[in-house]
Amino acid sequence: MPATEPDPAPGAAARRAPLAACLALYWRLCAALSPDAASALGGALGRVVGPWLKAGRVTALNLRLAFPDWPERRVRRTAARSMAQLGRVIAEFPHLGRICGDGGPSRVELVGGAVLERLRRAGRPSFLVSGHFANWELLAGAAVRAGLPLTVLHAVRADAAVERLLAAHRAALGCRFLPADAHVHAVVAELRAGRSLGILLDQRHDAGEGVPLFGRPAPAPLAPALLALRLGLPFVPARLERLGGCRFRLTVEEPIEPDPRLRDRRAIARDMTARVYARFEAWIGERPDQWLCIKRRWPDLSRDKWRRRLAQNPRLLGPGGSRDAPPGLADAAPPD
């Protein structure tokens, strides 16, 4: 699981300083509003500004690849809605605790709480796996308030000032955090202490292995499944949906256990990851505008750098993956 590296460019921190200041000011404004008003403001800004940013262009590219039969108008409309979701997520940071029920009723409806209760009573931690759906930040807060001790793996921002702001708001979720590049011993210690591990698995991982996503091999990390297999713990898919405005539904699905018919550990880990990705594909198909993927999701083998990456890691396309460049990957694609 890759960590964000410090920016080596001289003066990079100074150039980023205004971002933290602007974000702090924006969040003061959002905190002064109700959760609904702040979310609506963020959504409006995201819808207007997002499509003009690289994030909006990459989102549209990923949607074209996932849904090749869609007309371009639908792609752009859905990408704009995804950017509105991103705007809402940012604006909701000052209200994470309130949305999860601090000081009033929770705005997150829980479905599948019996699964969490069963795991809690058994004293068996798990890997709570999800992706960047709706406001994914809330998943941890809702799970903790349902009685699940949880530690979340997260990517640390290169901008230390922004990271501090994020950490201050995430504290309201009530979970523990570990950086995504934490040593495996630290991760194992959390699990052996009875704390489940929250992890987002939907983003591209260039050191991973290709698993199917919308008919294309999508590089995904196998390390979480290999660790779960080593410790005898399940994957538990958890889906967060935005029901409208600032109201959500968290659905906890039945655990994904190792397939007893498989013998090779890597094949078992790949199968567990592929079954999680099958759930992602179903969720995205139902609500494509609620999936946020602002990083190119599938390799583009029409480009030299991707062919070099494939030479370094042949597993990028999975076992038996085609080396042909999928159609449309190079069409006006923004660079990584």
- Give domain status of residue 70, yes or no: no
Whether 124 maps to a domain, the answer reads: yes
Q: DSSP letter for 291, please.
A: B
Alpha-carbon Rg for the chain, nearest whole angstrom, is 20
In a domain, 181, yes or no: yes
SS3 (DSSP) at 204 = coil
Q: Per residue in 88-128, pLDDT tens?
A: 999 999 999 999 999 999 999 999 999 988 988 888 899 99
Q: 213 forms bridges with which residues in the sheet?
A: 216
In this prediction, residue 297 has a pLDDT band, given cuts at 50, 70 and 90, of very high
Q: Rounded to an integer, what distance in angstroms lies between the CA atom of residue 151 and that of residue 196?
A: 6
Amino acid at 23: L
**Helices (H) and strands (E) in the chain — how many of each?**
12, 9
Distance CA 92, CA 31 (A): 9
- Print the domain residue range for 199: 106-317
pLDDT digit string (tens) for 27-62? 999 999 999 999 999 999 999 999 999 999 999 999
User: Strands 235-244 and 127-130, how do they pair?
Assistant: parallel
Q: Which H or E element spans position 197?
A: strand 196-200
Burial (0-12, 13-18, 19+ Cβ within 10 Å), 192 = exposed
Residue 229 lies in a domain: yes
Q: Can you tell me the distance from the alpha carbon of 23 to that of 58, in angstroms, rounded to the nearest whole number?
A: 23
271 domain residue, yes or no: yes
Assigned domain for 47 exists:
no
Q: What is the pLDDT of residue 66?
A: 97
Number of domains in the chain: 1
In this predicted structure, what is the pLDDT of residue 178?
96
33 within a domain of the structure (yes/no): no
Mean per-residue pLDDT over the chain, rounded: 90
Residue 2 has pLDDT above 90, yes or no: no
Greatest alpha-carbon pair distance for the chain in Å reads: 56
Report how far residue 310's alpha carbon sits from residue 323's, in angstroms, rounded to the nearest whole number: 9
Look at residue 11 and tell me if it is in a domain.
Answer: no
* pTM flag (> 0.85): yes
